Structure 1
């Protein structure tokens, strides 16, 4: 069974060098993907974070785009991108790094030989393993990002509200909630990442395997079949595999991300006790039902297709053609 370049056993290479590649190339791929998806992510967060006790400010993604551009211009959709760029580098490199650790643990269990590629069931597990640990890295970064993306609606002195900066958000969170406050919404991130990354890696590998099988069946000779087993897939097939990964990741566990975004965009320093993950989810369900949990899902799935495709194309290309 063929697999992506990062999963082809490469003898004679140190684990440290492999880890460095995962971090460097994962960071590069994450930054590329973030520039593609960020405006759509801003709209998604604004749709998700609308208060449940007030009339909806946006009627849908297009209305949110129009209102946002009218208020802040197109560049306003990129507000606060510096933190997400760092977050994208940290997230994507962590995903590939922890996924490799997960594969090493599976090999160490003795169930599979190191000279063979892992089956799809094991790769779905290593994806979940990767997402669970990555969530610890990602929650503080996403908390700052979400608070910057959501526009301030009121101002205490009657003047035009000032958009929060990275430093002001960090200062306010630490002042009112301490270090622990940066992991507000961790349960939502954990559920989204562990389940979503199982689907992210698993869907990509499943689609990749399907294409290799189809390509092998179309081969006319054994030599052509042997060549196909070691060559990279055509670019369009890599893109489809990466796109399927992104759409699966975002759709399957989108409600957890919605609840997480609402928790992280709540004002800091309020007198009432912050809601837990389950309390926030229950309040949203009572107000808007299942539809409220999937608010912004369409645009999120749409933007995840090209973003995820580029991430895997860049990462796999760097791993294959620029090994360290």
Structure 2
């Protein structure tokens, strides 16, 4: 998402992979079990560490690390390619906020087909009761849900575009980093607000056992949203929002800074 002239696809892909792994290593925290017994984020951390050990916080980290490289690589590379397509289709010389939203949603849909298998494995590995049973499961269950989740997340690209336009023009490298952190953090926060409900029902659908002859309680995206709201209230769609936004908000800033820095390095390397 650098303002410089775009580099070829392979450079976008490589920079996205590096940025994704950096974000995963800096912001990862695994999940414990028995979420209903936690009174809040701090209580959850304390009980997991006390009852299961500090290492439990990083259960299943191998799957997110393997997931983040192709996920973010696809994100930035697809965003660049879709941007070219839409600018040409609409006859626009430069990117606008509307095109940024459309491009981000298209990139999110593209990314979802790469991420779903790794996402499912990550959820199963983080679940203590089933970690040993799903070491090689790569079913594409929930691909439509993941597509909705990621598309809603990447609609925040329009927010990043708007924030960057409101910030003072960066005259130095330090100012550029500051702008990227601010724009990425705001974009990550807005994306989290938009995608959390769909992410909640996605996890429930992926964890629902499949029994022959029975329709699962959580069977499809919007129907699952309705079931959750009816039985538990609207607030249930935002369960776990605070720790998620505290990770993904700043994570968006980290992602943007690393990606921009790596792209600048590639430009220098190419002369």
Q: Quick check: which has more Rg, 1 or 2? A: 1
Give the one of 239, 249, 264 matched to 2:191: 249
Of 158, 164, 176, the match for 1:202: 158
C-alpha change, 1:111 and 1:46, in structure 2 (3 Å) is farther
Aligned equivalents of 2:18, 2:144: Cα separation in 1: 28
Aligned equivalent of 1:263, options 193, 202, 205:
205
Runs of 5+ consecutive residues of structure 2 not aligned to the other structure: none
Shift, 1:66, TM fit? 1.8
Alignment correspondent of 1:297: 241
Matched residue of 1:124: which SS? helix
The answer to whether structure 1 residue 9 and structure 2 residue 2 are counterparts is no
Q: Distance in 2 between matches of 1:303 and 1:270?
A: 38
Which 4+ residue blocks in structure 1 deviate beyond 6 angstroms?
none
Tell me, yes or no, if the aligned pair for 2:109 and 2:150 is still in contact at 8 Å: yes
In the other structure, the counterpart of 1:283 is: 227
Kept in 2: contact 1:147–1:264 (CA 8 A): no
Pair 1:147 & 2:124 matched: yes
**1:164 and 2:141 are equivalent in the alignment:** no
Question: 1:26 Cα deviation (Å)?
Answer: 0.5
Would you say 1:83 and 2:27 are equivalent positions? Answer: no
Deviations 1:6-41 (A, max 9, x none): x4335xxxxxx62111111111100110112211xx
Quick one: structure 1 residues 129 and 65, their matched pair in 2 at CA, closer, same or farther if it must change by over 3 Å? same
Q: Is the 8 A contact 1:243 1:306 kept in 2?
A: yes
TM (norm. structure 2) is 0.88
Q: Which runs of 5+ in 1 are unaligned?
A: 11-16, 51-55, 153-162, 174-178, 216-226
How far the C-alpha of 1:60 sits from its partner, in A, is: 2.2
In structure 1, the partner of 2:46 is 66
Alpha-carbon deviation of 1:243? 0.6
Query: How big is each residue's C-alpha offset from its partner over 1:238-274, in whole Å with a ceiling of 9 and x where there is no partner?
Result: 2111111111111112100000011222346687443
CA RMSD of aligned residues (A): 2.5
Equivalenced residue count is: 266
